Amino acid sequence: MFILRCAEETRAARAAIRRAGQTLALVPTMGALHEGHIALALEGKKHAGHVWLTIFVNPMQFGPHEDFHKYPRPVEDDLARCREAGVDAVFLPEVATMYPPNATEVKIEVPDLAKDLEGPVRPGHFAGVCRVVAKLLALTLPEVAVFGMKDYQQLRIIEAMNVDLMLPTRILPHPIVREADGLAKSSRNRYLSPNERLRALGISRALDACEKLAQSGETSAAVLEDAMVRTLVAHALAIDYATLRDRQTLAPAETLVPGQSVALITARCGTTRLLDNREL
Ligand code: PAF
């Protein structure tokens, strides 16, 4: 497995793949890899001859009071997991490689999709995500890039950016990978105490309750949202939102439209914010 650290060697390695008539799948991550990330890499392998994973804790997507410095960076473990999964190369840049000190800042924003949900809680977050993802895609020009569906709003924003910037990459969403008991896998789960870990299960249970009602024919967003809220409260979780939305526009939905709606939850368990969702 190659470890690529600078832009020039990365472009050269990419060019070699193209010269060999082969294709590339990219899996952008911030490291602290878990089975969810590895599933993205394995999915990438199904769609391209080479799979590269990027590990970069992107300072531009953290707010001043967020956990940029505290964000886990178990690089050696991450590299071992990548090797084991058959990743062909890891792009592991320094901050100065992605954001040279003399570079002019460029902003890419998708205001329609970023104005709500995570957007107001994390000002600048999605602009930071767009900037780094656009740079990673422009640098590596992969045929496909795989993103997890847990960060549902992020996925929609990246898809919209990819279309608007006419990038040649196909964005491939990958279903949420869960622990055996249903908790969505996340690098932030490691911050949960044993008691919080039990309570965090309330999030997937709230989505189960919502899905069960939907399957029984309930279409009122108010009723579905109430079912999620009651389950979250029963698990002593602090709710940021538990909401039914249109899958494409992320606009609030008054009525469930099967195949077009998604239930989105963000809740805090202690000091850890956890996200989850379910397409209905
Ligand atoms: O989802 C993430 O891990 C990050 O937001 C991403 C897409 C790698 C950009 O830094």
Q: Note whether 264 and 243 are within 8 A (CB).
A: yes
* 116, pLDDT greater than 90: yes
The residue type found at 204 is S
Query: Could you give the 3-state DSSP secondary structure of residue 267?
Result: strand
DSSP 8-class letter at 220: B
Q: Note whether 162 and 235 are within 8 A (CB).
A: no
Classify domain 2-174 by CATH architecture: 3-Layer(aba) Sandwich (3.40)
Q: Which atom of ligand 1 is nearest to the CA of 151?
A: 1
List 34, 37, 50, 235, catalytic entry: 37
Pocket of ligand 1 from Cβ distances under 6 Å: 28-30, 58, 61, 129, 132-133, 151, 154
- Whether 65 sits among the annotated catalytic residues: the reply is no
Separation CA 243–CA 2 (nearest Å) = 43
Between helix 7-19 and helix 125-140 the angle, nearest 10°, is 50
**163 band by pLDDT with thresholds 50, 70 and 90:** very high
Q: What is the largest CA-CA distance in the chain?
A: 58
For ligand 1, atom 2, name the residue with the nearest CA. 29
Q: What is the pLDDT of residues 185-232, one digit of tens each?
A: 999 999 999 999 999 999 999 999 999 999 999 999 999 999 999 999
Residue extents of the structural domains in the chain: 2-174, 187-279
**Residue length, the chain?**
280
Counting ligand 1 atoms within 8 A of each CB, the residue from 132, 155, 161, 174 with the most, and so the one to mutate, is 132
pTM for the complete prediction? Answer: 0.97
CA of 130 relative to ligand 1 center, distance in Å: 9
CA of 250 relative to ligand 1 center, distance in Å: 19
**66 band by pLDDT with thresholds 50, 70 and 90:** confident
**43 band by pLDDT with thresholds 50, 70 and 90:** very high
| pLDDT recorded at residue 1 | 98
Q: Note whether 133 and 97 are within 8 A (CB).
A: no
Separation CA 167–CA 122 (nearest Å) = 26
β partners of residue 89: 2, 52
Sign of CA dihedral 53, 58, 62, 65: positive
In the predicted model, what is the mean pLDDT of the chain? 97
> From the CB of residue 249, how many other CB atoms can be counted at a distance below 10 Å?
12
Q: What angle do CA 119, 121, 124 make, to 5 degrees?
A: 55
Q: What would the DSSP string read from start to end of 110-149?
A: -HHHHSSTHHHHSTTHHHHHHHHHHHHHHHH--SEEEEES
| pLDDT recorded at residue 208 | 98
CA of 30 relative to ligand 1 center, distance in Å: 6
* 70, pLDDT greater than 90: no
For ligand 1, atom 6, name the residue with the nearest CA. 29
For ligand 1, atom 9, name the residue with the nearest CA. 129
For ligand 1, atom 3, name the residue with the nearest CA. 29
Q: Does domain 187-279 have CATH number 3.30.1300.10?
A: yes
For ligand 1, atom 8, name the residue with the nearest CA. 29
Helices (H), the chain: 7-19, 35-47, 75-85, 95-98, 111-114, 118-121, 125-140, 152-164, 194-215, 221-234
- At which residue do the structure tokens 């209905």 appear? 280
Q: What is the pLDDT of residues 124-156, one digit of tens each?
A: 999 999 999 999 999 999 999 999 999 999 999
Half-sphere exposure for 150 (CA within 13 Å, toward CB)? 22
Structure tokens at 248: 């494409």
> From the CB of residue 95, how many other CB atoms can be counted at a distance below 10 Å?
13
The residue type found at 261 is S
Separation CA 178–CA 204 (nearest Å) = 9
Half-sphere exposure for 90 (CA within 13 Å, toward CB)? 25
